[in-house]
Structure 1
């Protein structure tokens, strides 16, 4: 293999990451390539003969040093690493390493005629060059294959053999390409002399049972409703096209040689021909479900439709979500579409049904996220009242992939807010049933019957349901960006609660000498204090109220608090400790309070004592008559000006026990690099926390969809129970699970008073 010379350190060891690796506020994806010096590796082995659990490796594409568990690294030769590095997608790169091709078999040489994948099609091409492009942006130069497109591919290239001013080979203008190795196929290209071609082998099936080893056949269709639990197989030795059925479990794959598929003018039927009658609502990129076996569905996306050799039925090439298929998009030596190995399946189109998880309207494509207003079928609505999920019910219904609210087109702010407020709490359920301020109440109905009820009953809300709500908000607010752009959660909540649902404000605040202010959430405003390095929410709230001279007029049923931030990048505090309970007793105006010294009924409050930690750890301080005189007799406090408190007559004349007003934390929104996620408390136990991300993963590329995920995160309780000094020293990168995002990226805390919610 000829390669342009560039010095590469021969004493480096190369690896590929097999799993995600958390690094600070982000993760390094599986499929990334890493390296370290042999000297460092050997030194590590010498220090610990069993090999240390972690290795310090450099991520090649980013030139960043990270610590990685040795168990998630797979070693590579320099040549393999250079070949893989030319594949830009880490996911595709990992697939190639695992199954798609054997790196050992890459023997590309100048002068070979091949087939290449370009713009999702296959074209004949001639290899002119194999080597690197003198790329100095990475620690290891990637190896590319330079080809000249021929035949139908002429004019579809992007170069003439020159790249960044350097000529690597010569070819016609707009006929050259530099491709990674996985886009080049060495069998199936027409040879120069036009002789008969041997095409790549196709997938076949045969039973594992030796007694039945004579039954060999070509797997052409998956199980359907009429043959649940069986694969329909076309036997090789049978001259007719009669299908036989075989149990799916004993089937396994082998390779066979087939005839030239170019003769598959397929009885005059061309690929892409219109599907038969009742399947016309399905098309390429439609999301479908297939009866995989009894009681189990397989889900995927149609990548191709048409006819294949030896089959009269109209077929669909489906890319599955899971490794339940038998091909990578090839059939009978001909490639119809591209997908990872074991993800492709060719099925009769009539065996495909629209994916009910995304079905938006009857007899319409399931991906119609931009369907007209009110076009959704009534059968998709869930009327009535469904209670919030708690305890084991929350785990059973919500935990897993394709759970929660599916993200789409910058919707994470809305997904996280709705999941936080409604999945496991009923504190704002009154919003779903109170008469809406809009005459037709369509937005309230959408929120209740297409989002909250499905979330609580089945644990999943499709992206098109949220898009329906976003379109309605767009029309009502006259804000065209509601269906496309990211918003702040508080903007969304204020709009839907105030302007659309006409809900009473959640908060009533009064500042000194001012009238009552009403709002739906409270933004923390404080001055940075040197001694406050890792505050909790209670401290921040008291600081904010003291700074702005605010008091609560009444106990809120729901208290939504925004954390202090300066812009998108800078955070005032590196960590904030969630207060599981929020004591608002001393934040209330005209309410009985305890003396911070003796515990009796307080009669005076002193704002000047706020920063005095000798008397009490609490910021807000109030005293009875006797204690106030004693405290302010000290020479350091003689200039303080205590003010009298308004005390209910019933408490002045009797010796009632002074009640504490406490709210409990039920959800937290976090933000990292403009992406919102949420934490929800789903039970009374300390470890009953779950983490939700509406865009945790993705199936497919541009025409694919996001996979929402709900995961349990009991590790949160461990850090909440840790002493503050330990938490201050805790390295965020070393925090387990999703805990780092709760402590370091918290944006909005949500508290509830179940007692007050009864009156709202």
Structure 2
């Protein structure tokens, strides 16, 4: 990027502008506004501060045909200029206009502070169009002083109306598309946001987040009449953002100031013009009075109210959807208005208008529309007319009310099959929600291990999130077997506010992001895992990510093997038995998997993973006193299980020449256990195990889950929140829960047979469980009683 260049003028010169017409000592008078210079030495020799009478002073003219010509002028008619001022003024050809800009100073001062990259407006064909400064400096050489011009790249409606690609006189000063550049004197520009640099920086940061940018085609209306134009200037007056718009009709130089809240964005403009609801019907009419709220419950169409999920049909086939956050009237309109938080960044406000906050939502998500233009979002309807019998969908009976205040236990065995199995069962997906749908279904449908999240005493402002989770998701799931998408979307909107991350309500996330947010930051439940690496500080977490190097010998590993390898490589131990153990598999992103298949371990033995806990000698079964990490990798021993020994067995094992150099680690055993073994005459160590209750899987960026709903080996069900769909863009997803007893057949298959089993030939959905596992969820029923 180019900046101002140095000219070749002599050093030590002083610059002046004539503020009066001068004809001193010459027949040809000089006009006011003429620029000239003189050497500092000559000036000091000829001017005496004590002299009151006008003195003749010989100066050198700087412009046009008279450049480098010397003339005599009245010294009292001269006003001194800084070199930078003179270079800018020299680019203004008309001397009268030049003098005016010198006397007014504002535009000249703004030009002096201008920087490359700054936004400006350019006068072009009687209209102002937006542009960006790409170059400041001379475009031709001069003996004394070169004029300074601004190289501007035209944007928006000015594109293609320039005269250059950034070149002048065969020299490339900046780069832009053909006919998108101009070289202009400062008076042809309107400098936007000139002034304090820090203020400009802050304003730019704020503007980058605004929904409307200079050059955008926008809509607005005055006196209830639709107008269109181009946004030129965006500024802030107090706490209110103002857009100065050049209307397509009317006086060309008149800019109309419109509050940002009342501007319709370019992508919505065409749909507004063609919609059944006119702009007058669709968008609020604003003025500076306070809005008048009123009780409008009797006048609401379609029984819509606050928190209703709605669609706004600005054009046929092109609706925007959202949730009503506010209902009332606005200053100059008697119509009932709705403040809607949109699902996407297609709004113009954060719920405020003229400095008054009507509701709260992320920036660019809020919009005010007439309530009559809102329609219930058919994707979330549970009425019989919406759920078509030919699709096998249930009637609306029992589904009208999303809240269930009566707490329900998890579903097990036959009851789980009766309540959960079928179409339009489980949790309805919408807008990239599969990560949260699968996680919630896995955690709460058939187990109570994390019900503390639902009933743990919580304090404002987070208690409402717990109530949504308990009364609008978990209880309806356990009682009716169905949760509407609007309940999950309501939870996601609250998570968005708590995390200040707008993508939580629209973007695809990973389950661990959701779990960490709601468990740690919102509900603040005690960490599920407490870990310690030898000699290191205690670590706490909610999910454990397995990290291991590729093990060639692990052709078809199970979860037990992967967990032991990971703990051993990181030298980790569990400080206590967890009630819930959430384990993420060794995969990176949604594509790369370290293993083609992983066998679910229905029972996870964590006895040897506990810190300072009694352990059993793998040879004789007595109390172990030493552990050998290197024996863990010795192929002579069993593939699974950490290797620990009593003193006698350790000595015998390490007599072998290949194991003599192994480094043993001393094990500690609680004194209480040693005393109890002496009392009962046995040193047998009790095993601490956890049972698998759910598995989250991912394939092609879509999360699903398997849930173990009973004790029998066939008691598996498969859940997909978006298994089917009714309708196209304006339709809704059909969540489905299917029974998958075929999983048991593969869990019982020999490892060698399962390793060569082709995934596409596996029955039912079993392939998803073995090939696409992302996260395993284990529970300890014993510890769940205490945590």
TM-score (normalizing by structure 2): 0.50
* C-alpha deviation, 1:712, in angstroms: 0.0
Q: 1:286 to 1:612 in 2, by over 3 A?
A: closer
Runs of 4+ in 1 over 6 A off after TM superposition: 279-284, 286-290
Q: Which residue of 1 aligns with 2:390?
A: 322
* C-alpha deviation, 1:384, in angstroms: 3.5
Matched, 1:512 2:541: no
Q: Which moved more, 1:626-635 or 1:474-483?
A: 626-635
* C-alpha deviation, 1:640, in angstroms: 1.0
Q: 1:482 to 1:588 in 2, by over 3 A?
A: same
Q: Which residue of 2 aligns with 1:494?
A: 516
Matched, 1:557 2:579: yes
Q: Does the 8 Å contact 2:616/2:684 carry over to 1?
A: no
Q: Does the 8 Å contact 2:714/2:742 carry over to 1?
A: yes
Q: Which residue of 2 aligns with 1:544?
A: 566
Matched, 1:451 2:473: yes
Q: Which moved more, 1:432-441 or 1:383-392?
A: 432-441
Q: Pick the aligned partner of 2:782 from 743, 746, 755.
A: 755
* C-alpha deviation, 1:530, in angstroms: 1.1
Name the SS for the 1:577 alignment partner: coil
Map Cα deviations across residues 484-534 of structure 1 (whole Å, 9 max, x no partner).
001010010010000100100000000011011000010000010111111
Q: Does the 8 Å contact 1:287/1:299 carry over to 2?
A: no
Which blocks of at least 5 consecutive residues in structure 1 are unaligned?
Answer: 1-278, 291-297, 302-319, 325-342, 344-353, 360-378
Q: Does the 8 Å contact 1:437/1:502 carry over to 2?
A: no
Q: Which residue of 1 aligns with 2:418?
A: 396
Q: Which residue of 1 aligns with 2:707?
A: 680
Which blocks of at least 5 consecutive residues in structure 2 are unaligned?
Answer: 1-371
Q: 1:623 to 1:455 in 2, by over 3 A?
A: same
Map Cα deviations across residues 31-52 of structure 1 (whole Å, 9 max, x no partner).
xxxxxxxxxxxxxxxxxxxxxx
1:552-631 → structure 2 map (5 Å cutoff): 552-631=574-653
* C-alpha deviation, 1:617, in angstroms: 3.3
* C-alpha deviation, 1:284, in angstroms: 9.2
Q: Does the 8 Å contact 2:462/2:523 carry over to 1?
A: no
Q: 1:678 to 1:285 in 2, by over 3 A?
A: closer
Q: Pick the aligned partner of 1:712 from 736, 739, 750.
A: 739
Map Cα deviations across residues 144-199 of structure 1 (whole Å, 9 max, x no partner).
xxxxxxxxxxxxxxxxxxxxxxxxxxxxxxxxxxxxxxxxxxxxxxxxxxxxxxxx
Q: Does the 8 Å contact 1:510/1:517 carry over to 2?
A: yes
Q: 1:524 to 1:440 in 2, by over 3 A?
A: closer
Q: Which residue of 2 aligns with 1:422?
A: 444
Q: Does the 8 Å contact 2:379/2:730 carry over to 1?
A: no
Name the SS for the 2:640 alignment partner: coil
Structure 2: distance between partners of 1:731 and 1:707: 30
Q: 1:497 to 1:639 in 2, by over 3 A?
A: same
Q: Does the 8 Å contact 1:321/1:699 carry over to 2?
A: no
Q: Pick the aligned partner of 2:463 from 441, 444, 457.
A: 441
Q: 1:288 to 1:595 in 2, by over 3 A?
A: closer
Q: Which residue of 2 aligns with 1:652?
A: 674
Q: 1:583 to 1:323 in 2, by over 3 A?
A: closer
Map Cα deviations across residues 265-289 of structure 1 (whole Å, 9 max, x no partner).
xxxxxxxxxxxxxx99977958767
Q: Which moved more, 1:423-432 or 1:605-614?
A: 605-614
Q: Pick the aligned partner of 2:729 from 675, 679, 702.
A: 702
Name the SS for the 1:568 alignment partner: coil
Name the SS for the 1:676 alignment partner: strand
* C-alpha deviation, 1:408, in angstroms: 0.2
Q: Which residue of 2 aligns with 1:532?
A: 554
Structure 2: distance between partners of 1:287 and 1:514: 51
Name the SS for the 2:737 alignment partner: strand
1:345-364 → structure 2 map (5 Å cutoff): none
Q: Which residue of 2 aligns with 1:463?
A: 485
Map Cα deviations across residues 687-742 of structure 1 (whole Å, 9 max, x no partner).
00000000000001111100000000000000000000000010001001000000
TM-align CA RMSD: 2.3
Name the SS for the 1:636 alignment partner: coil
Q: Does the 8 Å contact 1:287/1:355 carry over to 2?
A: no
Q: Does the 8 Å contact 2:583/2:776 carry over to 1?
A: yes
Q: Does the 8 Å contact 1:427/1:558 carry over to 2?
A: yes
Q: Does the 8 Å contact 2:427/2:437 carry over to 1?
A: yes
| Equivalent pairs, count | 411
Map Cα deviations across residues 414-452 of structure 1 (whole Å, 9 max, x no partner).
000000000000000011101125445000010000000
Map Cα deviations across residues 657-694 of structure 1 (whole Å, 9 max, x no partner).
31000000000000000000000000000000000000
Structure 1: distance between partners of 2:778 and 2:654: 36
Q: 1:415 to 1:636 in 2, by over 3 A?
A: same
Q: Which residue of 1 aligns with 2:386?
A: 300
* C-alpha deviation, 1:612, in angstroms: 1.3
Q: Does the 8 Å contact 1:432/1:444 carry over to 2?
A: yes
Q: Pick the aligned partner of 2:720 from 693, 708, 723.
A: 693
Structure 2: distance between partners of 1:546 and 1:418: 31
TM-score (normalizing by structure 1): 0.52
Q: Does the 8 Å contact 1:406/1:708 carry over to 2?
A: yes
Structure 1: distance between partners of 2:377 and 2:452: 43
* C-alpha deviation, 1:649, in angstroms: 1.2
Structure 2: distance between partners of 1:574 and 1:534: 8
Structure 1: distance between partners of 2:621 and 2:511: 40
Name the SS for the 1:393 alignment partner: helix
Structure with greater Cα Rg: 2
Structure 1: distance between partners of 2:424 and 2:473: 15
Structure 2: distance between partners of 1:495 and 1:323: 37
Structure 2: distance between partners of 1:490 and 1:680: 18
Map Cα deviations across residues 56-83 of structure 1 (whole Å, 9 max, x no partner).
xxxxxxxxxxxxxxxxxxxxxxxxxxxx
Q: 1:627 to 1:440 in 2, by over 3 A?
A: closer
Q: Pick the aligned partner of 1:742 from 769, 776, 785.
A: 769
Q: Does the 8 Å contact 1:437/1:500 carry over to 2?
A: no
* C-alpha deviation, 1:322, in angstroms: 1.5
Name the SS for the 1:547 alignment partner: helix
Q: 1:283 to 1:547 in 2, by over 3 A?
A: closer
Structure 2: distance between partners of 1:562 and 1:695: 23
Structure 1: distance between partners of 2:636 and 2:499: 52
Structure 2: distance between partners of 1:573 and 1:535: 8
Q: Which residue of 2 aligns with 1:483?
A: 505
Structure 2: distance between partners of 1:484 and 1:402: 22
Structure 1: distance between partners of 2:674 and 2:404: 53
* C-alpha deviation, 1:356, in angstroms: 6.8
